[in-house]
Amino acid sequence: MGWFDKLTRPRRDVPSDLWKKCTKCGEVLLIKDLAKNLYLCNKCDHHLRMPLWDRIALLTDDNSFVELDREMKSVDPLEFIDSKSYPERLAIAVNKTDVFEAVTCGRGANNQSPILLAVMNFEFMGGSMGSVVGEKITRLLELGVEEKTPVIVVSASGGARMQEGILSLMQMAKTSAAIQKMNVAKVPFFSILTDPTSGGVSASFASLGDVNIAEPGAYIGFAGPRVIEQTIRQKLPEGFQRAEFLLEHGMIDAVVHRRVLKNTLAKLIKLFGS
């Protein structure tokens, strides 16, 4: 072991739940410092995945967020079982995250402008979209139409929830239809794509914003790169399915650093409201 490895390895007496490594450069980062630094690597500025309530705090004014539909819970219509039953997986996810589903919705304010906000939680079963996720987002979008209030959805998802089968896939059409209602009513919808945004989420509401914004380096795509390479039998370009590549090819509207994301949304809200 070289001198550099000794410097970058955490001390053995430091509990592993107090630190994590940057997934890009490998720098050892203390969790308490990460929270203060908006979950940005202090060495390479990589945008690490941001916890649910930190994300809500980032985008809303202090103490302005009021949660909606908190008590909605998934059921097991297909009685799905793999290595664990679906109810078991849900119970594990609830215990791990202290929320009942993979999306949290509510009212808030952004620079004193009223907003409706939905934030997906990748820690809850990979942010997968089941019936409750689709219903909560649809309700929020419809509330936006009713109250003429801008809606912001922050996506972080592995896609549709396989334990609900076709019922999960139906949420793609359901949320997309709700966004069409927003378009007709001329109420703005802003989509924030974070790492990762994939599968049925990327193929539905996450890509249908009036403005689609991604965080730097975010993985965004429908199928994984290995699946695509095996299907088309070609090597994919460097950086394929990353935010910057999608911006260059016209698939998203902007890549915005986390530090200026709230103010960017504030400017957009004013622009669309004028």
pLDDT tens for each residue of 66-106: 999 999 999 999 999 999 999 999 999 999 999 999 999 99
* For the chain, percent of residues with pLDDT exceeding 70: 94
Question: Could you write out the DSSP letters of every residue in 148-203?
Answer: T--EEEEEEE--B-GGGHHHHHHHHHHHHHHHHHHHHHT--EEEEEEEEEEHHHHT
Out of 3.90.226.10, 3.40.47.10, 1.10.1060.10, 3.40.50.2300, the CATH code matching 50-273 is: 3.90.226.10
Domain locations in the chain as residue ranges = 1-48, 50-273
For residues 145-167, give the mean pLDDT: 97
Q: pLDDT grade, residue 214 (50/70/90)?
A: very high
- Residue-by-residue DSSP string for 9-62: SPPTTS-GGGEEE-TTT--EEEHHHHHHTTTB-TTT--BPPPPHHHHHHHHS-T
The reported pLDDT for the residue numbered 18 is 87
How many angstroms separate the CA atoms of 84 and 16, rounded? 27
Average pLDDT, the chain: 93
